[in-house]
Structure 1
Amino acid sequence: MQSQFHKQLVSDFSFLKKKKLLLAISGGIDSMVLLHMFHQLNFDIYVAHCNFSLRDAESDTDEDFVKNTCKALKIPVFIQKFDTNGFAFEQKMSIQLAARKLRYDWFSELLTDKQLNFVLTAHHLDDEIETFLINLTRGTGLEGLTGIPAQNNHVIRPLLKFSREEILQFAKENNIKWREDSSNASKKYLRNKLRHDVVPVLKELNPNFIHSFQNTLNNLKQAQSLVENASQMIYKKIVTEQIDQKKIDILKLTQLKNYEAYLFQWLKPYGFSAWEDIYALVKAQTGKQIFSKKHVILKDRNFLIISKKNNQENQTYYKIEQEALYVNFPLKIAFSSPDKISSLSNSVIFVDQEKIVYPLILRKWEKGDDFCPSGMKGKKKISKYFKDEKFSLIDKQNQWLLCSNDKIVWIINHRADERFIANNATKKLLKLEIL
């Protein structure tokens, strides 16, 4: 394995030879083999060990083991102890995601502070199989089936072509010591369950499963490359790039077969995930928007416009004073005082101005909100109204309410509240219109 590993470094990672490398070493068999192979090849290496404080004394023993090994090999080592449980609770994320974020954020800091070039991790071929199966069970596109990238910016994974069995054999042949993580035996995690219950069955059914999987992975990567090339060619014909936004021509887009696949390729880098809502946006009314964490897609006539969110769009609460004739953000609303009630629609309502308390509040809906739907008696939960009207998750998140003194006047563009709507006896009308 050592000679194969060296050949791979020469062919795929020759740029590492004169670089300062930070090896992520947990103390497990995979990372210890990675450490010893780079040490034997005389690379300029440094070690980073994360103590996630998740296994009490066992975590501290792993830390001591890595420290002592590095001392014996005369390799500089950096240790960081994390309160992973506390961080996961604060950030409202799983332990696994919390540990991943803590780990890679710290690695990035070390690269900068210590003037190192790359982080090397010990992910191997069996990790790729497990990741493939995890993505398959959760539902994924082609990219989710192409495995773990050998290089992702400053992170390098040089063991991806080697199986767990090869790594174990190398460790035994070279008397390499390692630590066993007791949590790896637990099947409460999906990855471990696949590792212990599913992958062994696949290997039993096909003794050459590892080789077959590598071939499949290579084929999928080639297919993904073709998809990306085709996507880029079509992108240049349909998408116009401007300084602060990108415009997708809907008329040209919908002439393509499976145009949803192109939208997926173009929009996934922006963090969007509500794909059914995005595909429906093509035929939605002008003005409809869908948000990701940092970007927004707006349907504007014959275009889908992608832009960054600004700070205002993160705001969910606005005051409207009595003298206001127009509101321009986040919605364009016109206020007027007509002599009579004219035609009504979802975008126009007439209310009794004497029942309104200023300032009016424009806000997003909140759990527990209720209103009295126009034309009906009694109250109804907003959440029940959304369900009855088949609002999507995105629709719910984007819906604005106009409120007076904690009472909902209007589910904007949908339904007014019976308590506020005007009638023939109303003396002072207020017309609200979405422009």
Structure 2
Amino acid sequence: MELLSHLSNILPLRMHILIAVSGGLDSMVLLEILKYTKLYISVVHANFQLRYSDSKEDECFIKDFCKHQKIPFYNKKFKTKTYSIEKKKSIQMAARSLRYGWFFRILKDIDASYIVLGHHLDDTIETFFMNLFRSSNLKGLVSIPEISKFLLRPLLPFTKTKILQFANINNIWWREDISNQDFKYLRNTIRNDLITNYYDRNSKTLFFLRRDYILIQQSISIIFKIITIIFVNYTFYWELNTSKLKKIKPLNGYLYRLFSPYGFCNLLDIERFLHTSTGKHIYSKRYRLLHYRRRLVFNYQQERHKRYPFKFHLEVNDFMDHKALISIDFSIISWPISLRNWKKGDLFFTSLRKKKISKLLKEYKLSIFEKEEIFILMNADKKIICTINMVINFLFKITLKTNMILNIF
């Protein structure tokens, strides 16, 4: 059978996997298929307690199935509404955060290789339209990957219709989630209105929609790889190759898709920005776009005065502690001392000569981003004591006449 054949091709034998099962059609078909493989399987279920008795019945349904089949079962109840309010997240985003956080903990505890999910082709199309309507970036439009670091989605090539046919032929039981009919969720609107209505009118329409979706996915994925130098999702840091970006046609269309989700909507200004000199930057409400050495760099705007990279622990001793971050002559310090980012015009002494901090950083060949993370320690009289982890002002250095030493950890 096609589903079984595909699963055997992408899943190595005798691997330990953790199957996320909601009790719905997709996950129950996935579980039914995988239990006949030579894989060692465990099941995990998240009860979000959003549908009252239905949520409890889903849990019992899966628990009884796993007990009968002698499959290890892990379950947890979540106070999803409370968490949603506390974290100021939508119910769906709160459930997602709770679900994946717990799934990954179980994955680690039982030493499994993958969390296996029941997403299928229709899910990817729905996600694509959701991201499109929300003006997502190119990365968002690439949608759901079949295999990522610890997540596996073996049903992605198959439609909901094919999965349903498999379930009916093999007498697989599942539970219906009534919340899938709730139009307050964008996904349900796309699924039940946009896609289903097209399918009801003309089955060929959905076929072409899926085919075009796959082609768009391939195109976007290729473009993203071509222009991306570095992409770090969790801190949001994205470097793009300016030369390769300029060659993409039509440029305006891709510039809009790239930049508008981050608040940069004036295409003329952005196109001009591609030709500016290195070091230039522009800002939106939350993001910064920097032109740096033939690269465009996206990152969050940094509230640097509120975000210090460390906490100090101070000790006054008659010796220099080799574990200290900084050791200085205590008798010269005037209190209070303070910490801030360096700025242009800052001066300090190296031996008996003044030197600009900017020149020092240039000598160290720091990038523009590394320079942003340089902090200086200030004396009460506004003299610079040191640059953290780099150089101590000559005036505050320990000498043979030093009696007491301030060790800063």
Instruction: Check whether TM > 0.5.
Output: yes
AA of the residue aligned to 2:264: W
Deviation string 1:220-243 (CA, Å, 9 cap, x unpaired) is: 2332344245425xx69xxxxxxx
What residue is the counterpart of 1:40 in the other structure? Answer: 36
Gap change, CA 1:136 and 1:307, over 3 Å in 2: closer
Q: 1:64 aligns with which of 60, 78, 81?
A: 60
Query: Any stretches of 5+ residues in structure 2 without a counterpart?
Result: 231-236, 309-338, 347-409
Deviation string 1:307-366 (CA, Å, 9 cap, x unpaired) is: 8988845449xxxxxxxxxx97376589xxxxxxxxxxxxxxxxxxxxxxxxxxxxxxxx
Is 2:325 aligned against 1:329?
A: no
Query: Any stretches of 5+ residues in structure 1 without a counterpart?
Result: 237-244, 317-326, 335-435
What residue is the counterpart of 1:120 in the other structure? Answer: 116
**Conserved? CA contact 1:247–1:306, under 8 Å:** yes
1:79-98 to 2 correspondence within 5 Å? Answer: 79-98=75-94
Structure 2 counterpart SS, 1:276: coil
State the 1:304 CA deviation.
5.7
Distance in 2 between residues matched to 1:84 and 1:66, nearest whole Å: 20
Distance in 1 between residues matched to 2:156 and 2:148, nearest whole Å: 13
**Conserved? CA contact 1:51–1:82, under 8 Å:** yes
AA of the residue aligned to 1:188: K
AA of the residue aligned to 1:276: C
Gap change, CA 1:206 and 1:296, over 3 Å in 2: same
**Conserved? CA contact 1:150–1:158, under 8 Å:** yes
**Conserved? CA contact 2:262–2:284, under 8 Å:** no
Gap change, CA 1:205 and 1:253, over 3 Å in 2: closer
**Conserved? CA contact 1:136–1:145, under 8 Å:** yes
Structure 2 counterpart SS, 1:152: coil
* C-alpha RMSD of matched pairs (Å): 4.2
Deviation string 1:41-87 (CA, Å, 9 cap, x unpaired) is: 24211000000011122211111111111001110000011111111
**Conserved? CA contact 2:128–2:141, under 8 Å:** yes
Gap change, CA 1:153 and 1:263, over 3 Å in 2: farther
**Conserved? CA contact 2:142–2:221, under 8 Å:** no
Deviation string 1:129-152 (CA, Å, 9 cap, x unpaired) is: 222222232234555444421112
Q: 2:265 aligns with which of 276, 297, 305?
A: 276
Gap change, CA 1:332 and 1:42, over 3 Å in 2: same
Structure 2 counterpart SS, 1:161: coil
**Conserved? CA contact 1:298–1:306, under 8 Å:** yes
Q: 2:172 aligns with which of 176, 187, 199?
A: 176
Structure 2 counterpart SS, 1:127: helix
Gap change, CA 1:307 and 1:59, over 3 Å in 2: closer
What residue is the counterpart of 2:159 in the other structure? Answer: 163
AA of the residue aligned to 1:8: H
What residue is the counterpart of 2:47 in the other structure? Answer: 51
Distance in 2 between residues matched to 1:90 and 1:202, nearest whole Å: 40
What residue is the counterpart of 1:22 in the other structure? Answer: 18
Q: How many percent of aligned residue pairs carry the same amino acid?
A: 34
State the 1:26 CA deviation.
0.6
Gap change, CA 1:311 and 1:67, over 3 Å in 2: same
**Conserved? CA contact 1:20–1:118, under 8 Å:** yes
Structure 1 counterpart SS, 2:14: coil
Q: TM-score, normalised by structure 1?
A: 0.59
AA of the residue aligned to 2:212: T
Q: 2:2 aligns with which of 1, 4, 15?
A: 4
Higher mean displacement: 205-214 or 111-120: 205-214
What residue is the counterpart of 1:200 in the other structure? Answer: 196
What residue is the counterpart of 1:385 in the other structure? Answer: none
Distance in 2 between residues matched to 1:34 and 1:247, nearest whole Å: 38
State the 1:175 CA deviation.
2.0
**Conserved? CA contact 1:146–1:217, under 8 Å:** no
Distance in 2 between residues matched to 1:305 and 1:38, nearest whole Å: 44
Structure 1 counterpart SS, 2:265: helix
1:267-306 to 2 correspondence within 5 Å? Answer: 273-276=262-265, 279=270, 288=281, 290=283, 297-298=289-290
Distance in 2 between residues matched to 1:186 and 1:147, nearest whole Å: 23
Deviation string 1:68-121 (CA, Å, 9 cap, x unpaired) is: 110011100000111111111111110101111111111111111110110011
Distance in 2 between residues matched to 1:64 and 1:58, nearest whole Å: 10
What residue is the counterpart of 1:217 in the other structure? Answer: 213
Distance in 2 between residues matched to 1:197 and 1:302, nearest whole Å: 45
State the 1:216 CA deviation.
1.3
State the 1:263 CA deviation.
7.6
The aligned length equals 308
Q: TM-score, normalised by structure 2?
A: 0.63
Structure 1 counterpart SS, 2:203: coil
Gap change, CA 1:228 and 1:246, over 3 Å in 2: closer
Structure 1 counterpart SS, 2:45: strand
Gap change, CA 1:276 and 1:331, over 3 Å in 2: farther
